[in-house]
Amino acid sequence: MKKFLIGLICLMTVFTLTGCGKDTKKEETTTNDNTTTEETQNPSVALEDQEINGLTFENFGITKDSDDISIVYFEVSNYTEEPKTVNKITFTLYTQGVEIVTLSEDINGEIDTYETKIFTENFDADLSKVDEVKYTVE
């Protein structure tokens, strides 16, 4: 458990110091009429934390890798005084109220008291316009 907590702290420190992979470089482009504009490159999406059945869903984000694969990540924490049995976590991503995709993670186990689990899913589509996520726990 101690090694897990140290690893989690190291991971969170890396996310904090690197901005979760966020790239805010400004890039200049030239249009046909010889005017220059600036575009901000920021493929990262972050949404608000949620709590369901004593489990806290936090640090949700979407970023892209160098091959334009969207990487969805979030943490599930149990801040209660008892372990929580979880079979499956399903999360649905929305853009302006329209469902984009539903993904699931089979857990089939417990999330111990004060334990945090980190989940990542790769998805071969542009999810940069996602503005809402809804979770269900079975």
Rounded to the nearest 10°, the torsion over CA 18, 79, 105, 21 is -10
What is the structure's pLDDT at 48? 86
Residue ranges covered by each domain of the chain = 43-138
d(CA 64, CA 45): 10
pLDDT string in tens for the chain (138-residue length)? 555 555 556 555 555 545 544 444 444 444 444 443 333 333 456 688 999 999 999 999 999 998 989 999 999 999 999 999 999 999 999 999 999 999 999 999 999 999 999 999 999 988 989 999 999 999
What is the structure's pLDDT at 46? 63
What is the structure's pLDDT at 45? 64
23 burial level (CB within 10 Å; 0-12, 13-18, 19+) = middle
What is the structure's pLDDT at 47? 81
Which CATH superfamily groups domain 43-138? Answer: Lipoprotein YajI-like (2.60.40.1620)
Kindly report the backbone phi and psi dihedral angles of residue 80, in degrees, each rounded to the nearest multiple of 5, phi listed first. Answer: -90, 180
* Element spanning 78, H or E: strand 70-78
What is the structure's pLDDT at 138? 93
